[in-house]
Amino acid sequence: MTALTRKEKKAVMNYLYGLTTVCYNSYYDVVNRRHISSKRSMKRALKLRNIQDSNQLKTELDWLLNEGKRAEFITCRNELILIPENDRQEYIQSLPNEKKVKMTLTNHYYARLSAENIIAVDYSLCILFSLFGLKLGLLTKEDAWNYMLKAARLAQNAYSSWTEYMTACLIGFQFYHNDEESLTSFVKYRKAFITKLIVSKYSPIQKVKWDVKI
């Protein structure tokens, strides 16, 4: 954040927030910044990831930056490519439900997407959890900003627009679902939610350009 004017710093903060908006539960929560208004909700969100102290949080942030859900996509993809295309559906249907969902997703996307195409979800969570850590006293200001800016720069280099980034997040978040019913419900709702984030003039991402200096 060195050598930035006040206006530039505000733009960076808006940018970081924009990158996390896909993690929220609703458009209302996004506009009202509900995730960062309550320490109780921040603690609850981290606890769901088994994060209760600084070391656990840093381990999670490093995992999101260096491995994340894209590693699961790569593992599934590498397994699928060993199976003849005509036999894949039969193989997938024979799997336990949780793995079947992940392999179905991978089979649907892997020929069209690289692992980098779902990396957006890892960056969005890294920034959000870094902010939580700062507000909860689990991270120093320096550590939190280092994590957030690293994730933001990686995201900016990986995608060319807010639309591309948001679309990648929609795909990436699907890999957090372990059953078909929850996945179907998630996709139906999230498509509408992300569309509103992209097109609404009140959306936080309308306040800052994708290629802002960070």
User: Looking at this protein, which amino acid is placed at residue 85?
Assistant: E
Looking at residue 105, what is its pLDDT? 87
CA atoms of 96 and 81, how far apart (whole Å): 19
| Residue whose entry in the numeric block shows the structure tokens 């458009």 | 27
Quick one: pLDDT band at residue 134, thresholds 50, 70, 90? Answer: very high
Dist. CA 74–CA 184, nearest whole Å: 22
For residues 39-47, average pLDDT: 91
**Percent of residues, the chain, with pLDDT higher than 90:** 50
Segment 157-182 mean pLDDT:
86
CB atoms within 10 A of CB 195: 14
pLDDT in tens, 13-28: 999 999 999 988 888 8
Q: How confident is the model at residue 10 (pLDDT cuts 50, 70, 90)?
A: confident
Question: Which tokens go with 8?
Answer: 């530039």
Mean pLDDT of the chain: 88
Rounded-to-integer distance, Cα 54 and Cα 57, Å: 5
State residue 185's pLDDT score.
82
Q: By the 8 A CB rule, do 155 and 165 touch?
A: yes
Average pLDDT over residues 109-136: 86
**DSSP collapsed to 3 states, 66-126:** HCHHHHHHHHHHHHHCCCCHHHHHHHHHCCCHHHHHHHHHHHHHCCCCCHHHHCHHHHHHH
Of the listed ranges 2-6, 77-81, 105-109, 135-139, the least confidently predicted one is 2-6
- How far is CA 3 from each of CA 15, 26, 155, 213, rounded to the nearest angstrom? 17, 35, 22, 11
Euclidean distance between CA atoms 147 and 90, whole angstroms: 42
pLDDT in tens, 66-121: 998 888 888 898 999 899 989 999 999 999 988 998 899 888 887 776 666 678 99
The torsion of the CA quartet 71, 72, 73, 76, rounded to 10 degrees, works out to 120
- Separation between Cα atoms, residue 116 and residue 157, nearest integer Å: 11
Structure-model confidence comparison of residues 119 and 139, the more confident one: 139
pLDDT at 33 over 80: no
- CB-based burial label for 120 (10 Å; 0-12, 13-18, 19+): buried
Question: With bands split at pLDDT 50, 70 and 90, how would you rate the model's confidence at 189?
Answer: confident
pLDDT for 115: 63
**Is residue 7 predicted with pLDDT exceeding 90?**
no
Does 178 score more than 90 pLDDT?
no
